[in-house]
Amino acid sequence: MTENNKRQRQANLIRAFRKIHRMTGVLLFVFFFINSITGLLLGWKKHSGGLLLPESYKGTSTELKDWLPLDSLHKNACKILHDSVSTDLSLELERIDVRKDKGMVKFVFNDHFWGIQLDGATGKLLQIERRNSDMIENIHDGSILDHYLGTTGEPIKVVYTTIMGLGLLIFTITGFWLWYGPKRM
């Protein structure tokens, strides 16, 4: 194979990679834009002064023996949610975060982005929190659509993260070749 043929093949390969790179960018632009913004917000959530991730407040005792039973704390959190936010909100729990070192229990609800922080010993309200970081995380990984459409098993999230992962892989490979290919020529 002559030197000219090698250069021509190399140029054709670079053109093909440029086309793939461009088409991937055009097709996934909006998704990459959303993903980058939400990724930045998630990276900064602990440094947002409570705007994205609610501050964790301290209770009166870090000794579990002094705490109220978890079921009593749960009933209190549900009552506070309905009394203070809305009676229309579901009481189904996503998780309970027990923060022994802070003397606090956090109840995070499943079907909306609200949480209740209670003093573990007294059961008194420490904070009603809007969980913006949870919503941003759901947007970031695509599970927000599964959440609102009520799909089980998160199929939209799986498809979305697969497309985004493959798109980023294609960008990485073609971008590297667009940089390295001309140097090789």
Read off the pLDDT of residues 24-35 as tens digits, 9 standing for 90 and up: 888 899 999 999
pLDDT of 180: 82
CA dihedral 77, 81, 84, 90 (to 10 degrees): -160
DSSP bridge partners of 119: 104
**Per residue in 130-153, pLDDT tens?**
999 999 999 999 999 998 898 999
Stated pTM of the model: 0.79
116 with 84: CB under 8 angstroms?
A: no
DSSP conformational letter for 67: S
Fill in the DSSP letter of residue 110. S
Say yes or no to pLDDT of 103 above 90.
Answer: yes
Q: Which residues pair with 116 in a beta bridge?
A: 107, 128
Alpha helices, H only, the chain:
3-44, 70-84, 132-141, 143-149, 155-184
Q: What is the structure's pLDDT at 185? A: 65
User: pLDDT tens-digit profile of 43-71?
Assistant: 999 999 989 999 999 999 999 999 999 99
